[in-house]
Amino acid sequence: MASSIQSIADGLPVQRYDVQFSLDRLAIGVDNVHFDVRLSQQLIQSVERAALYIVTRHTGTQQMLKTDRAVEWTKAKERFKEDCTAVLTAAVHTAKSRKEIQIDFLAQVAVSKLIFDELRTQFDRVIKHIEHVIRSVELTPHHETRDTSESMKLKEQLKQIRTGRGRLLQQAGDELLEIFVNCQRKGIMELREANFGRENTLPEHIFTNRLIHAESLTDDETLMEHYILLNNRIEDPDSVERVTMLLENFFEEIGLHPSTDLLPEPDEPTARGSLYKPPNPWLMNEENVNVLFNPEGTQRQYRRRRSEKAPKEELKELKQQIRAQKKIYKLFFKKFKKEKLPRLINTAFEMASVYREYCPPLTPRQVHTYITQPTSRKQITARLERIKNFYGKSFSMTPLHKVARRAKRISAKQQKVYVYEFLTAFFRYYRDMTMASHLKTYMNSVHLAVDEKIIALSKENRTLYDFLLKAEQEKKEHPVIGHTIVKADVRGSTDLTYHLKEQGLNPASYFSLNFFDPITQVLFEYDAAKEFIEGDALILSIFEQEETPEGWYSVARACGLAIRMLSIVRDYNFKSRKNNLPILELGIGVCYNNTTPTFLF
């Protein structure tokens, strides 16, 4: 059976999910843990403003924080889109000039992190503002009944906002990320595809993913709203783990073996060394549901192509696909039924129209449990009875009993529809769950640098990634690609210092006037810089910079400087002999390295 099914599956146009999303070629920042990124200050401000408007709208606090003017929101949204477009366009150009597409990936991750962080900052700002208003009301002199009522309303509003934090942040995050993706759909996506090819760019669904801002990857509300309700307990047949295992084993049986090169192991240093199971590439592609489990869809395609007088060979292939899909569906449904999944899945679909009447106080999972597990009904009903006064209404369980009866009496035709819809939702959820985890790992590995010292240090060490507006960009300095170090020290300086002191002379001024000062005055002629003075030694550097071949002779310049220093010391020694002063003997070392130096601040 397996070999027969395998040969049929080989003839179906299934496709692996093939998105290469990695930052493994980029330089880690100065803390040796995160990527150092400096974002446009203007973009940061526009994200802050847009996030405030969106959060206050979703929390119903526009008037309180004076963000209720539609025209102002329109301006804030347009400013965010303009700044985002400009910054990401510049990032594509940088990635192209440096022949590294991962720079473009990093820019998208960094802006996503900014949005993620700023939404939470603005949400906390709303909370603190309401708390401040409550304190102001309660501390008002002659605190009257009207004020008490206002205080109670504010406290109730605050309670609801805190309780709904996860849902509100997800709604706000989805909206702001949709704007973020929309501003790239025309010019920027075309620019990326022209420079790197469509197959190398990141698809939209990575950033419009409903799970990015969800409090949990298995949040009931999110699953019911955008996917399909699944269980959190691994021992339950409708848990993510059990369904994944069922599908992976089924794919193995029909010859669809997983690959280990879909996505790299997360680059975040804290994740390195941990066990990592690559995602299944067949499960990641939602289109495979249609290819494997939808013979009805292929039949409709066959009838349409036949009416269009399609070539016989094409029609023959479609017929073969229909036969293969029917066999594969039959085999899969047998396993699906063996796992006792049909009733659980049917219930999840059937309860979609009524579950909101009970949530809160119940969760969607508790509603599902009430329907599928009769032994739980007494306990859940008792709970609803206890808290009905708090919610100001009674909860009739009749609609749930109707759902239970319908879930048991699903027709074969409707069952096929539910299986297909379940698989479509699960494949999409599996992909989004995987990519949300991957994106969050990368967002956590980004350090949005704002401290000037860190920025300067990272910049000098060539680990800073700048994503700025044109007006914010500094005059371009070519990166250092090689350097020569010159060390000049005075031999016998300890004895020399002793003899000068014995004669009542000043060693410091002697070394300064005869050695340090005259040499410092000629450094600019050789493009040399004084790094530091170490006792009786002078340490100098000469850099070679990118795209400046005329300056790629640092060793020659260092040798010329060494000869000049010896000449200077010889001239001053001539004067010292005339005045019966000790002479200087100089030792010089020259060292070249064809890499970027490491800077300390």
How confident is the model at residue 1, as a pLDDT? 41
* pLDDT beyond 70 at 4: no
- Give residue-wise pLDDT tens across range 262-275: 555 554 443 333 44
129: helix, strand or coil: helix
Instruction: Return the closest-CA partner of residue 582 out of 512, 520, 493, 457.
Output: 493
* pLDDT beyond 50 at 85: yes
Instruction: Give the chain's radius of gyration (CA, Å).
Output: 35
466: helix, strand or coil: strand
Domain extents in the chain: 22-201+450-476, 478-593
- Give residue-wise pLDDT tens across range 463-486: 999 999 988 877 656 778 888 998
Per DSSP, 513 falls in state I
- Give residue-wise pLDDT tens across range 487-513: 888 776 677 777 777 777 777 777 777
E strand residue ranges, 257-305: none
Of 116-120, 213-217, 336-340, 419-423, the one with minimum mean pLDDT is 213-217
CATH of domain 478-593: 3.30.70.1230
Pairwise CA distance, residues 24 & 22, whole Å: 6
User: Dihedral of the CA atoms 211, 213, 218, 220 (nearest 10)?
Assistant: -110
- Give residue-wise pLDDT tens across range 9-36: 777 888 999 888 999 999 999 999 999 9
Looking only at the bridges linking them, the beta strands covering 35-39 and 464-467 are parallel
The answer to pTM > 0.85 is no
Mean pLDDT of 205-220: 89
Burial class (CB in 10 A: 0-12, 13-18, 19+), 4: exposed
DSSP calls for 25-44: TSPP-TTSSSEEEEE-HHHH
* pLDDT beyond 70 at 350: yes
Which residues, 6+ apart, have CB-to-CB distance to 400 below 8 Å?
A: 351, 354, 358, 367, 370, 371
252: helix, strand or coil: helix
Between 450 and 3, name the one with better pLDDT.
450
Residue 587 pairs in a beta bridge with 489
